[in-house]
Structure 1
Amino acid sequence: MRILLAALLLVVSMAAAALAQDSPIQQLLQDNRQLIEKSSRKTIGPAIDALRDSGLPAAQTVLERWQAKEMWQREEDGLFFFAEKIDSKTYRLIDIATGAPVGTYDKGDLEQLKPNSGIRGMIGAALVQFQLNDPDPAKRVEALDAIARDAEASHLDALRRSIYGEANAALKARKERLERLLTIAYDDDPAARIAAIESFSGDLGVDARAALNPLVATTRAVTTGAPPAGENVARTLTPGSADFTEDEAYALLVDAGLAPPRLTSDAKRAALAAHVEDGRVGGVPLHELDTEADRDRAYTALAFAGLVPPAASDGEAAAALEAHTFYERYAEPDPAVTAAANATLESITFRVGFNQFADLMLDALSLASIYFLAAIGLAITFGVMGVINMAHGEFIMMGAYTGFVVQQFIPNYTVSILVALPLAFAVTFAAGVAMERLVIRWLYNRPLETLLATFGISIALQQLAKNIFGTQARPLTSPDWLDGALQINDVVSISYIRIAIFVLALAFLALFLFIMRRTRLGLEVRAVTQNPRMAASMGVNPDRINMLTFGLGSGIAGVAGVAIGLYAKVTSELGQDYIVQSFMTVVVGGVGNIWGTLLGATLIGSLQKGIEWLNPSNTLAAQTYMILFIILFIQFRPRGIIALKGRAAGD
């Protein structure tokens, strides 16, 4: 029985081995056996392509297992198998066609295929066509990402075949777009390429511009007479023009071997000095080498004797330039394709410019919301009360540091921000009330003394912050839902933090209007602002109203500090970055008018972004130009955009 069982196992093993050797996938691997065994990135391509294009059901599995280093070769006959490890020295071989066990072998009788990273990348590219039709959408997305990252001509047909059966609408749209991009680059039919190019007219995608730009890329060339037939000429070039100097033209001649190099005066003098013999150079006496023509004559004699390389004189260079035609040629040989690409890029350029303007306006709007949020408190203390508070920026700084401290105790960033906003208002409101009671109340109607006193307080608060928190910038981390940006298209985007600040600015505008127009406090503030004596005679306490108004303005500055700290560095100098813009916002908009403050912030934010766009490399220059513009603006409209009317305007 033992002998019979052993014989049976031998027969089964031989049958399995014969089946493994006769399977189409094994035969294909054996046909490419030498390439696989050599396993060189430079030579392995045909073997991978043969597997990819075979149409065999097992081809995808073989490529995947090969890429994962799970392919083994049996040394006795060179057949390829998958393998399962039994122990450190023994492996079970599995038929690559059927998945059936073939037998157990010692590790020494096997050779593992270990493709390097380059070969694994080539296998990955070959697997794309299988992954495009994978039932798992994630696999199909992965395949599309791989094509977009490293496309090649072989992907085009596979991509086209996969589009018809794609059930996912989003993936189908992406496949269709990618197919058009690959058609532009790899299709042999000019009509198909032109149709694909024209389909991207006005498209803002970066991938579309990346596909079209190589079609209109040009190189400079030179020839004798007319350009050769069949070349796609973009334009002819004139030596000596603004974009094509004579030096550039002659360098092109030298590179093409159509003219000898020109010699500089220094190089000519050095060559002549190196060949002085018996008081002569090239047969010319040294005392005669006082003109450029004589030096040219001597150098020509040396070149004729083979002692120096020949060089062109100015006259010869001019003649060479005159005798040749210079032009730019497209890398793409088909004129119809380049014409379509140029037309499409022109339409894209127009739309890109329009969207860049829209993106600039969004940036200006977000910057204006920041300035408005920083200035709304100053609009109360300076615009309504007439107090020049140079420490307003430090209230912004205090609010930012309040947010930082809260985050040290509340690690949840969403909760910490929700807690920090009212807490920052409370802290800076209390600080503002204390400052008004201790300092400001004694200096009303004395603007110079108020300015100096608040400036001193500003310096003191900065130093206090340095003593407590140090000079290092402190992080104020935004919640995860504020990370990233709202991507409208490939040109226009705005960060979620700036959107949140914009919404916060609108909320405080609405809150301020509600307080001033719908509450008793607002009524009393307006009464004290217009006529404090009359308000006092009607039972309103002007001192109390001034205290609350100053505290309200300071509290809003603290909230602005939390918002600004989400994207700016929180340091003791944070407020100084916004104090000048805050005063300009209030003055330009119109002192004492909240709508004027809003318009002033919009004007200053738009102006600063516009100047930065014109001069992006120098932010300091942009701020200087902005201040000069504001000075000129105030000369023509000293009361601001929206001037107060009536008794308050006179005060």
Structure 2
Amino acid sequence: MITRLLMALAVSVSLSALTALPGNAQDADAPIQQVLQDHAEIIIKSSRRTIQPAIDAVRDSDLDAAQLVLEKWAAREMYVNEATGLFVYAEEADDDMLRIFDFATAAEVGEAPEDDYDQIKPNSGIRGLINSALVKFQLSDPDPANRIAALTSLSRNGNESHLPVLRASIEDEPDADIKARKERLERLLTISFGSDTENRVAAIEYFAGDLGVDARAALNPLVATTRRAATDVPDDMNIARELRVGRDLTEDEAYALLVSSDLAPARLTKDAQRQALQANIQDATVGGVPVAELSDPAARDRAYTALVDAGLAPAAATDVQATEAVAAHVFYETYSERDAAITTAAADALKAIELKVGVNQFLDLSLDALSLASIYFLAAIGLAITFGVMGVINMAHGEFIMMGAYTGYVIQQIVPNYTLSIILAIPLAFAVTFAAGVAMERLVIRWLYSRPLETLLATFGISIALQQLAKNIFGTQARPLTSPDWLNGQWAINDIVAISNIRVAIFVLALIFLGFFLFLMKKTRLGLETRAVTQNPKMAASMGINPDRVNMLTFGLGSGIAGIAGVAIGLYAQVTSELGQQYIVQSFMTVVVGGVGNIWGTLLGATMIGFLQKGIEWFNPSNTLAAQTYMIVFIIIFIQFRPRGIIALKGRAAGD
């Protein structure tokens, strides 16, 4: 009787405690609560190895509260009431209190002390599993950004359980682009996790020739092989090929494979054999073999075999035994994928992809070469005027490029808007370097016409002086010439072919200057006078043309174009006092190879050098300096066979 009274009292106290808790306002019979209670033990323990059934149960419950549970669980905001065992989610309140919410209704229940609740703290591995389960709800989220985020998550961590969920979401997807991404991802997951051979093969064939990195990532594991050894080639494995000892693998590699497969003991080394024999000498014999005979390798092998039989040494194979073991086994490679139809389809798809990748790599290399050629053309077009037309060897041409780049840098310090500053920098760089070129021609070059060696030495000295002047003004630290936002990033054609927007802009600028130069030389008076002076200065002077004035303007024009080239080059290269020296050699090579005095020759010369340099770098990507050396050697050989360049100058000037 007393026992019954005590039990009743205990029940009464427990009910009173439950009434005082916020959890009392919860519906313990709510379906979502029942799902959680069915897996309460593994949820509370939170072990990554055992938690998956609980996550799957919540995800597949088709309850409205399932997504809320998973989100709060992953965010470490899920708690369990110590007294009632009910699961809730909560947020911190004041004074060590929690604000409690019911999963079934998402309504606030009230506040309770933190000590009454245990926080469920899933580790990063469990959170990853929960986030993977959330994909089911995110794929149908009204917000397109959330659906895209779910697809991104699936592309990284998708598994077999996601396939039906993803397939179910495709038909009702309203956004065409997102639907296409879903269909692509569904095929990728089918390749890796599909259970039907026909569907997997169809998905594989869809990606034949596809350049996406994700397609190759899905296909490559299907054709991955493992080397194996056996007494006979098995019939129940997907064999990639049989290996021949001496052709596909060495005898040592073959025996090592036998050892790793537990088909043979480790090879006996000379040191191990000697140590074992020395440790077992008894009465001047080892294993029944006299010590005096151990100088013979065959006798040592017999002695060691006797020790192994007696249990005095570990089993090991001699060279003869290793050779016999290799001859008694077969060696082969097997696919990780056991279905031969799958591996055949994957191999065919990868061959198609490899061919297309090669074509696109060539296209990408060609774009890089054209980009480099446009840079060389911009750098050399001014030199084509001063050297090609006037015959002046201007070693300071690179410094005009450097002056143009520094002009752009100064303008950006004054005008913070990068787009406007670049627009202003182009004409100002032309003006500054045009004036510098005119001053150089009037003060130095005009006195040295027809004296190429003196011109070379004088302009080389001016080059050094201009570099030092730039160091005194701007210092030795590299200065950035920042490109506008619309020039950042790259123009990506596919996963292989891409080119930066700055390079595209420089290419367009080179075309603009090609058109400008052709118009100037063919349609303007200055161009007509320049061509006349180039062909025959004395006859041009007799016709009323002032050769000195033409030479001054021509030299200034060439210098001004170099300044504009400096602005373009400075957008992707650090601006330093040595900037021009990086392009002076290539500029001279461009003019000489293309044909002195011919703008089309300069264009072809820049294209040839750009493709040549990129081609050599492709064969030797780790050594750019070597690539440039090979390029110079090639050009020297080229000039030996065609000294006047690709397009030789015609007329009287050709004989100068």
3-state SS of 1:188 partner: coil
Distance 1:618 1:16 in 2: 71
TM-score normalised over the length of structure 2: 0.93
Equivalent in 628, 651, 654 of residue 646 of structure 1? 651
* CA displacement 1:306-348 (0-9 Å, x = unmatched): 4443432332222111110000000000000000101111111
- The one-letter amino acid paired with 2:561 is I
Give the aligned partner of residue 94 of structure 2: 87
Structure 1 pair 463–52 and aligned structure 2 pair: CA distance change class (3 A): same
Contact 1:422 1:559 (8 Å CA) reproduced? yes
3-state SS of 1:228 partner: coil
3-state SS of 1:21 partner: coil
Give the aligned partner of residue 230 of structure 1: 236
Structure 1 pair 15–36 and aligned structure 2 pair: CA distance change class (3 A): closer
Distance 1:281 1:10 in 2: 84
Q: Where do 5+ consecutive residues of structure 1 fail to align?
A: 1-8
Measured after TM superposition, the shift of residue 367 of structure 1 is 0.7
- The one-letter amino acid paired with 1:58 is A
Distance 2:621 2:408 in 1: 32
Give the aligned partner of residue 196 of structure 2: 189
Measured after TM superposition, the shift of residue 35 of structure 1 is 1.5
Equivalent in 537, 556, 565 of residue 561 of structure 2? 556
Question: Is 1:608 aligned with 2:613?
Answer: yes
Compare 278-287 and 574-583 and name the one that shifted more.
278-287
Question: Is 1:168 aligned with 2:187?
Answer: no
Question: Is 1:156 aligned with 2:167?
Answer: no
Distance 2:378 2:532 in 1: 25
Give the aligned partner of residue 208 of structure 2: 201
Structure 1 pair 263–435 and aligned structure 2 pair: CA distance change class (3 A): farther
TM-score normalised over the length of structure 1: 0.93
Distance 1:602 1:393 in 2: 20
Equivalent in 491, 494, 498 of residue 493 of structure 1? 498
Equivalent in 246, 257, 264 of residue 252 of structure 1? 257
* CA displacement 1:590-631 (0-9 Å, x = unmatched): 100000000011111111111111121222222122112111
Contact 1:389 1:450 (8 Å CA) reproduced? yes
Measured after TM superposition, the shift of residue 95 of structure 1 is 2.5
Distance 1:19 1:636 in 2: 94
3-state SS of 2:410 partner: helix
Equivalent in 603, 610, 617 of residue 598 of structure 1? 603
Distance 1:169 1:219 in 2: 42
Give the aligned partner of residue 267 of structure 2: 262
Compare 60-69 and 112-121 and name the one that shifted more.
112-121
Structure 1 pair 315–68 and aligned structure 2 pair: CA distance change class (3 A): closer
Measured after TM superposition, the shift of residue 301 of structure 1 is 4.7
Contact 2:378 2:510 (8 Å CA) reproduced? yes
Compare 491-500 and 270-279 and name the one that shifted more.
270-279
Measured after TM superposition, the shift of residue 453 of structure 1 is 1.6
- The one-letter amino acid paired with 2:137 is F
Measured after TM superposition, the shift of residue 237 of structure 1 is 0.1
Distance 1:344 1:605 in 2: 34
Give the aligned partner of residue 515 of structure 2: 510
Measured after TM superposition, the shift of residue 583 of structure 1 is 0.9
Give the aligned partner of residue 58 of structure 1: 65
Give the aligned partner of residue 585 of structure 2: 580
Structure 1 pair 635–270 and aligned structure 2 pair: CA distance change class (3 A): farther
Structure 1 pair 112–592 and aligned structure 2 pair: CA distance change class (3 A): same
Contact 1:200 1:208 (8 Å CA) reproduced? yes
Compare 248-257 and 266-275 and name the one that shifted more.
266-275
Structure 1 pair 100–360 and aligned structure 2 pair: CA distance change class (3 A): closer
Question: Is 1:535 aligned with 2:534?
Answer: no
- The one-letter amino acid paired with 2:473 is I
Contact 1:70 1:83 (8 Å CA) reproduced? yes
Measured after TM superposition, the shift of residue 86 of structure 1 is 5.3
Distance 1:266 1:82 in 2: 68
Measured after TM superposition, the shift of residue 650 of structure 1 is 1.6
Give the aligned partner of residue 24 of structure 1: 31
3-state SS of 2:112 partner: strand
Give the aligned partner of residue 5 of structure 1: none
Measured after TM superposition, the shift of residue 375 of structure 1 is 0.6
Give the aligned partner of residue 453 of structure 1: 458
3-state SS of 1:111 partner: strand
* CA displacement 1:69-104 (0-9 Å, x = unmatched): 332322221112234655334444333212344444
Equivalent in 353, 356, 363 of residue 358 of structure 2? 353
Give the aligned partner of residue 4 of structure 1: none
Distance 1:162 1:536 in 2: 82
* CA displacement 1:228-257 (0-9 Å, x = unmatched): 22100000000111x412211110011112
Question: Is 1:133 aligned with 2:140?
Answer: yes
Compare 184-193 and 292-301 and name the one that shifted more.
292-301
Distance 1:453 1:14 in 2: 95
Structure 1 pair 472–95 and aligned structure 2 pair: CA distance change class (3 A): same
Equivalent in 389, 394, 397 of residue 392 of structure 1? 397
Structure 1 pair 276–527 and aligned structure 2 pair: CA distance change class (3 A): farther
Distance 1:468 1:322 in 2: 78
Q: Residues 324-343 of structure 1: matches in 2 within 5 Å?
A: 324-343=329-348
3-state SS of 2:27 partner: helix
Structure 1 pair 16–638 and aligned structure 2 pair: CA distance change class (3 A): closer
Distance 1:105 1:369 in 2: 72
Contact 1:13 1:102 (8 Å CA) reproduced? no
Distance 1:277 1:423 in 2: 99
Contact 2:26 2:109 (8 Å CA) reproduced? no
3-state SS of 1:20 partner: coil
Contact 2:25 2:109 (8 Å CA) reproduced? no
Compare 329-338 and 607-616 and name the one that shifted more.
607-616
- The one-letter amino acid paired with 2:532 is A
Measured after TM superposition, the shift of residue 278 of structure 1 is 7.6
Matched positions, count = 641
Q: Residues 396-435 of structure 1: matches in 2 within 5 Å?
A: 396-435=401-440
3-state SS of 1:486 partner: strand
Distance 1:567 1:271 in 2: 68
- The one-letter amino acid paired with 2:236 is G
Contact 1:425 1:558 (8 Å CA) reproduced? yes
Q: Residues 240-389 of structure 1: matches in 2 within 5 Å?
A: 240-241=246-247, 243-265=248-270, 268=273, 288-389=293-394
Compare 279-288 and 427-436 and name the one that shifted more.
279-288
3-state SS of 1:160 partner: helix
Structure 1 pair 508–180 and aligned structure 2 pair: CA distance change class (3 A): same
Question: Is 1:633 aligned with 2:638?
Answer: yes
Structure 1 pair 404–277 and aligned structure 2 pair: CA distance change class (3 A): farther
Contact 2:18 2:84 (8 Å CA) reproduced? no
Give the aligned partner of residue 112 of structure 1: 119
Contact 1:429 1:551 (8 Å CA) reproduced? yes
Give the aligned partner of residue 589 of structure 1: 594
* CA displacement 1:478-511 (0-9 Å, x = unmatched): 1111111111001111110100000011111111
Contact 1:20 1:96 (8 Å CA) reproduced? no
Compare 120-129 and 312-321 and name the one that shifted more.
312-321
Measured after TM superposition, the shift of residue 284 of structure 1 is 5.5
CA RMSD of aligned residues (A): 2.4
Distance 2:87 2:160 in 1: 30
Question: Is 1:522 aligned with 2:527?
Answer: yes
Compare 617-626 and 294-303 and name the one that shifted more.
294-303
The sequence identity of aligned pairs, in percent, is 71
Q: Where do 5+ consecutive residues of structure 2 fail to align?
A: 1-15
Measured after TM superposition, the shift of residue 44 of structure 1 is 2.1
Contact 2:23 2:84 (8 Å CA) reproduced? no
- The one-letter amino acid paired with 2:634 is F
Question: Is 1:565 aligned with 2:570?
Answer: yes
Measured after TM superposition, the shift of residue 109 of structure 1 is 2.4
Equivalent in 217, 235, 238 of residue 224 of structure 2? 217
Structure 1 pair 82–253 and aligned structure 2 pair: CA distance change class (3 A): closer
3-state SS of 2:469 partner: helix
